[in-house]
Amino acid sequence: MKVCKKCGTIQQDDRFFCIECGEKLKKAVSEAEEQKIREEITENIENRAEAADELGVDKRMRIAAVLDVIGVIFAVVSAFVLKSQKDNLLIILGSLLFYVISFVEAIFPNFFWTLTKLKIWQYANAEDIEPSFWYGMMRKIGVWGLMIYAYAAIIFLYFI
């Protein structure tokens, strides 16, 4: 393994000039150095894979989606239990909407990401926009926040 001193590109031992920048290559790196470089590459790939997973539907998101479905049932049952006082119904309808948004955001993350991308496209002409870490965090807060708020609002109705 040879590493270009100028641009850092890694290449095979039989090359004399860098495939990227044309710089003359020095002798191959030692085995220990090679091992270190391989570890760095693996780590880099893992980090990128993790970042790309920011919009994934992991186990926690599935649990959130199930809780949203239970929440919808809870809301419908509560609508009957709490009788048809107008204010109660409005709060229950609002909670239903929150459960649905939370559910869609948990199970179909690309739906909201596409909407966000459309918004970004208006200003910047970028093509491959990746969701940032912050965007992923906001999504998680959105999914759990809306659901917990909806539960709290309905439970509150039982005590007033």
- Give the one residue of 1, 2, 3, 7 binding Zn ion; rule: CB under 5 A: 7
Least CB distance to Zn ion at residue 11 (A)? 8
* Distance from C-alpha of 120 to C-alpha of 137, rounded to nearest angstrom: 18
- Give the one residue of 4, 65, 96, 147 binding Zn ion; rule: CB under 5 A: 4
Pick the closer one to Zn ion by CB: 29 or 57.
29
- Give the one residue of 23, 39, 53, 87 binding Zn ion; rule: CB under 5 A: 23
| Half-sphere exposure in the Cβ direction for 69 (13 Å, CA) | 7
Pick the closer one to Zn ion by CB: 20 or 53.
20
26 makes contact with Zn ion (CB under 5 A) = no
Name the residue with tokens 């790309």.
52
Least CB distance to Zn ion at residue 3 (A)? 9
Structural contact between residues 112 and 105, judged by C-beta atoms closer than 8 angstroms:
yes
Token readout for 12 is 């095979």
Task: Compute the chain's Rg from CA coordinates.
Answer: 26
* Spacing of C-alpha 72 from chain mean position: 24
19 makes contact with Zn ion (CB under 5 A) = no
Interface residues toward Zn ion, by CB under 5 A: 4, 6-7, 9, 18, 20-21, 23
